[in-house]
Structure 1
């Protein structure tokens, strides 16, 4: 049985794409070891395959990446394996070096255009470092895949690579509502689930909630600007915005179906967001929740093809509020039921396994 070491920089619990990949490979006959890191708020993890969390002294910035890559390199060096699976650019260097030193096969999963994340817009030196690393390694890779066609086309054109596409669809699930964490008071629920970072349109949505008194805006997740958003809510005395923090995928699966509308309002802050195809869109669809999304190519394609919601027409609080009011009166159930059967991980597994078996 071939052993695959899968590496990420997160704490393993909330990365649904990596969990699905590992399960598919495990069920496909591979021996899996998933490696990440320990954080202060890391939740317990139990999988069908072994996991390893590296403890670090530094947890952000250059020192974090340097320490994690250093520790990961030596962990990979002295651990038995046949194949290395690197997730995103921040784990690629140690995996690449080990693959060359020990002549092991390397597979690369690019979840996004890493150097194009909004957090690097005002950090040209840091961005240049990541771009240089990408330019050095990517043209040398033979086995790589990513989350959407736009990113695959970008890399293929820029580095003459051959990226395949494994879309981050969820598993087909039966919609089951769990206990909602607070009294809805017969108000409509507008849901955001995911990272609370720059460029997600959350500030716009909070401003919009002042014009939607018959709705709650529920934010599930954690990130760089959650404190800033809470301060915004407090300063404007907005009482219909609720923060639930980071939840396990299992808990979230039972909360999402309570929503009347799911949002994905990413801003066009560079190519990474322009080509975004967020997991939450498909999670909303699996929960049979209609969506309102940004006018960006990948996510727009889902709405246009499957008719499961609407594209934002105007990014002002007044216009967005009016569009949401109208949208909440429409029925998308038939389209959602059709889309949830088509946009599932089970349709991606065969392509994924072929990459590793070849």
Structure 2
């Protein structure tokens, strides 16, 4: 049965892996609409846009103080129903009654619940992409402002949803323990690509792609590269929302740390296929990092790379069970290097071929059946 479904995103949905893939999986069956901040038009989908707010780096000290005062005084509706978002109501009203609203950012959950209050048959499904109350837990200023805001959203609005997805077991468990919300773990799997493992390079090519920032211990990339044996090269295809940090990273990089221009979301997997090892260098500096099972992990797998990771709990469990790489014993650069050099060239190639065996099982195509079942069960089809 075809349903009317709208996805709500507080960012451009087409440029974030998880919502972009959710759209791709649902639009072939259901009548799909997307309401997103600065939304890029999406083929086969009714797309609606709302403007962005000022980011933290663009706000004045006075504007920052107003936000902090709202948070500390409990005036959270001023941060939810902001002028730029009010057109979400109009966009929803322009559509026929929706059977399902999927919320990709908890800041927009109140709009979905407001809609459900008018249309009693509508269901609300939220995708918990991280543990929001600790999103920037290493920043005391954030904890004293937006941290309170996200805590409020989770306490007041989250228990009202009809269903929830989550990115990992650890984060799912935390939401249940703290807010009583049960969620289904829905892995962030990329589309299947008909690729084969490439022959091992010389020197061996290690790839890290994604964001770099201080909370991700990204300066460790420099130490890691400095200590790499001569038969390895580290490539970084990265973005950052902290220009000065990124500039410093590049300026201090040794010659065997090569920075690459980012490619589009659709190109990440085929581009990565030319490398040998996919690196997950995170330390458990935050709750979300400690329990991450990120997009890049499954993109490395789909690209037929050997996985090299720090001993993060869920990544370590996956790598151990699936025999697709190696994890360090400790959270240190030296331990990560020891794990790397424990692998022979034959070991790396074997892990690349194991990734090839796993590529279809851990692809978006296998997620399609799961998300269709979740939607049908939620709607009572």
Determine if the TM-score, normalized by the shorter chain, exceeds 0.5.
yes
Shift of 1:325: 3.2
SS at match of 1:263: strand
SS at match of 2:211: coil
Q: Flag structure 2 segments of 5+ consecutive residues without an equivalent.
A: 68-78
Does structure 1 residue 343 correspond to structure 2 residue 362?
A: yes
Q: What is the Cα-based RMSD across aligned positions, in Å? A: 2.8
Shift of 1:12: 2.5
1:259 equivalent among 266, 272, 275 = 275
Structure 2 equivalent of residue 13 of structure 1: 14
Shift of 1:268: 1.1
Confirm or deny: 8 A CA contact 1:69 1:93 kept in the other structure.
Answer: no
Cα distance in 2 between the residues matched to 1:110 and 1:237: 35
Confirm or deny: 8 A CA contact 1:266 1:273 kept in the other structure.
Answer: yes
Shift of 1:244: 2.8
Does structure 1 residue 112 correspond to structure 2 residue 130?
A: yes
Structure 2 equivalent of residue 97 of structure 1: 114
Does structure 1 residue 206 correspond to structure 2 residue 222?
A: yes
Confirm or deny: 8 A CA contact 1:198 1:224 kept in the other structure.
Answer: no
Shift of 1:276: 0.8
Question: Could you list the runs of 4 or more consecutive aligned residues of structure 1 that deviate by over 4 angstroms after TM superposition?
Answer: 60-65
Confirm or deny: 8 A CA contact 1:38 1:53 kept in the other structure.
Answer: yes
Cα distance in 1 between the residues matched to 2:326 and 2:84: 41
Moved more, 6-15 or 44-53: 44-53
Structure 2 equivalent of residue 217 of structure 1: 234
Shift of 1:198: 3.7
Shift of 1:71: 4.0
Confirm or deny: 8 A CA contact 1:188 1:260 kept in the other structure.
Answer: yes
Structure 1 equivalent of residue 75 of structure 2: none
- Judged with a 3 Å threshold, the aligned counterparts in structure 2 of structure 1 residues 119 and 74 are, in CA distance, closer, same or farther, namely farther
TM-score, structure 2 normalization: 0.81
1:54 equivalent among 29, 50, 57 = 50
Confirm or deny: 8 A CA contact 2:136 2:143 kept in the other structure.
Answer: no
Cα distance in 2 between the residues matched to 1:222 and 1:299: 22
Q: Flag structure 1 segments of 5+ consecutive residues without an equivalent.
A: 179-184
- Judged with a 3 Å threshold, the aligned counterparts in structure 2 of structure 1 residues 136 and 161 are, in CA distance, closer, same or farther, namely same
Structure 1 equivalent of residue 147 of structure 2: 127
Shift of 1:17: 1.6
SS at match of 2:10: coil
Cα distance in 1 between the residues matched to 2:117 and 2:180: 20
Confirm or deny: 8 A CA contact 2:5 2:101 kept in the other structure.
Answer: yes
Confirm or deny: 8 A CA contact 2:123 2:162 kept in the other structure.
Answer: no
- Judged with a 3 Å threshold, the aligned counterparts in structure 2 of structure 1 residues 166 and 268 are, in CA distance, closer, same or farther, namely same
* Cα deviations by residue, 1:233-288 (Å, 9 ceiling, x for unpaired): 31x35222233344212222221111111111222123212221111111111111
Cα distance in 1 between the residues matched to 2:48 and 2:280: 32
1:153 equivalent among 173, 189, 195 = 173
Confirm or deny: 8 A CA contact 1:117 1:272 kept in the other structure.
Answer: yes
Aligned length in residues = 346
Mapping 1:280-295, distance limit 5 Å: 280-295=296-311
Cα distance in 2 between the residues matched to 1:85 and 1:278: 20
Shift of 1:319: 4.0
Confirm or deny: 8 A CA contact 2:26 2:372 kept in the other structure.
Answer: yes
Cα distance in 2 between the residues matched to 1:237 and 1:88: 35
SS at match of 1:238: coil
Cα distance in 1 between the residues matched to 2:279 and 2:239: 16
TM-score, structure 1 normalization: 0.85
- Judged with a 3 Å threshold, the aligned counterparts in structure 2 of structure 1 residues 307 and 86 are, in CA distance, closer, same or farther, namely same
| Higher alpha-carbon Rg | 2
Cα distance in 2 between the residues matched to 1:57 and 1:118: 19
Structure 1 equivalent of residue 30 of structure 2: 30
- Judged with a 3 Å threshold, the aligned counterparts in structure 2 of structure 1 residues 48 and 298 are, in CA distance, closer, same or farther, namely same
Structure 2 equivalent of residue 181 of structure 1: none
Shift of 1:138: 1.6
